[in-house]
Amino acid sequence: MNKISEFEKGHQYFRSVNFKKNEERFKKLVEEGQSPKALFIGCSDSRVMPNMITGSGPGDLFILRNVGNFVPPFSPDNDFHATAAAIEYAVTHLEVSDIIVCGHSDCGAIKACFEVLEAPEPVDEVDEENIHTYKWLQLGTDACSMARRSLSEESREAQRDFAEKASVVFQLENLLSYPAVRRRVDAGKLFLHGWHYDLATGEILYFDESELEFKPLGSE
């Protein structure tokens, strides 16, 4: 059986079982429109499942996923900015009260950032098929550079773990460069959260700004 056939069977199960269980909720979401509680910015990694790891249901999360769960700094030009557009829409139109940036363990984007830093020559000049990917990875190299400096005597695995978490903090800082986000955060109407999800254990750590460390979610 090919993969698409598996998805077709999965859809039929959804229609006959899961959709039926939530049919009234889906109808209400159509009639009244969506009003999600939070914007969830996560990685495109297929092992990260926002609704599953948060126990959320239809209409609860406005989900934005990209390679590395990166947030590019605000850029007031007229180019195409998919991530920026999703952030602005969630904040100004849906008026979410919270934004979660969720990194994860064994992140391929962070691994690639280390490879970019250690390449003998600029990788975007020798691999034209991935030119956009390498440009995008620049959003994670600062975290990897910090990890290499701070844990120079540690293993690469320890450096990657550090970089995954540090990157989440960098993305939170980038979020504050968006006028709509900064204005609402300063007014106490919008709250930012940094999470790190462990694929092997299922545990989520959150960034404690007061102590500058990641702690188990729910322990605050």
* Predicted local confidence at residue 180, as pLDDT: 98
Q: Is the model more confident about 154 or about 1? A: 154
Q: 3-state class of 114 per DSSP?
A: helix
Amino acid, single-letter form, for residue 134:
Y
Cα–Cα distance measured from residue 54 to residue 128, given in angstroms and rounded to the nearest whole number: 38
| pLDDT at position 34 over 70 | yes
Q: Sorting pLDDT into bands at 50, 70 and 90, what band is 7?
A: very high
Residue 116 has pLDDT above 90, yes or no: no
Instruction: Specify the pTM.
Output: 0.94
Note the pLDDT of residue 121. 67
CB 97 within 8 A of CB 189: yes
Q: Residue 11 is encoded by which pair of tokens?
A: 């859809």
Q: What is the mean pLDDT of residues 26-51?
A: 97
pLDDT averaged over the chain?
A: 94
Helix spans in the chain (H): 3-13, 19-21, 23-32, 50-54, 82-88, 108-118, 131-150, 156-175, 179-186
pLDDT band at 85 (very low <50, low <70, confident <90, very high): very high
At 195, list the tokens. 């999470």
